[in-house]
Amino acid sequence: MSTSDDDGRPLVDGRFRLISRLGSGGMGTVWRARDIALDRDVALKEVRPPDPAAEAARPGLTAQLRARAIREARALARLSHPHVVTVHHIVEPADGSAPWIVMELVEGNSVADRLAAGPLSVSEAITLGREVLGALRAAHAAGIQHRDVKPANVLLRAGGGAVLTDFGIAVLDEATSRLTASGDLIGSAEFIAPERVRGEEGNPASDLWSLGMLLYVATEGHHPLRRATSLATVVAVLDDPIPPPVRSGALGPVLTRLLVRDPARRPDGAELDRLLAEAQAAAGGAVADAVPAGFGPPTPVAHPAPPAHPYARPAYELPGPPPAERPTGPARRKRLATLSGGLVLSAALLALAIAQFLPSGGDGGTGDLGDGKPSGTTTGGQTPSSGPVTGTAPRTTAPADQAAPGPLLTPDGVRTALAAFREATGVTTIKQMFVYDEYAIAEIPTARGAKTYDRYQFRDGKVSRQGIGGTISASDADAQPFDPSVLPWDDLPTLMRRADSELKVDPPRSRHLIAERWTFNEDRPTLLVYRTNEYSAVGYLAVDTEGKQVHKLTAD
Active site residues: 148
Question: Which stretch of DSSP H or E encloses residue 421?
Answer: helix 411-425
CA 383 to chain centre: 20
Sign of CA pseudo-dihedral 11, 13, 15, 19 = negative
SS3 at position 237: helix
Q: Specify the pairing of strand 524-532 against strand 28-35.
A: unpaired
Radius of gyration of the chain (CA): 25
**305, 308, 366, 224: which is closest to 512 by C-alpha?**
305
Indicate left, alpha or beta for 247 from its phi (over 0: left) and psi (-120 to 50: alpha): alpha
| Whether residue 493 has a cis bond before it, omega within 30° of 0 | no
CB 482 within 8 A of CB 400: no
CA 401 to chain centre: 38
Cα→Cα distances 199→174, 183, 187, 203, 342, Å: 17, 8, 12, 11, 17
Number of helices followed by number of strands (H, E) in the chain: 15, 19
Cα→Cα distances 213→313, 410, 456, Å: 20, 34, 23
CB 463 within 8 A of CB 511: no
Query: What is the rounded CA–CA span in Å between residue 515 and residue 313?
Result: 11
Report angle CA 459, 462, 464 to the nearest 5 degrees.
85
Residues 6+ apart with CB under 8 A from 261: 194, 195, 321, 325, 366, 367, 368
Helix 205-220 and helix 122-141, axial crossing angle in degrees, nearest 10? 160
Q: Phi then psi for 327, rounded to 5 degrees?
A: -55, 135
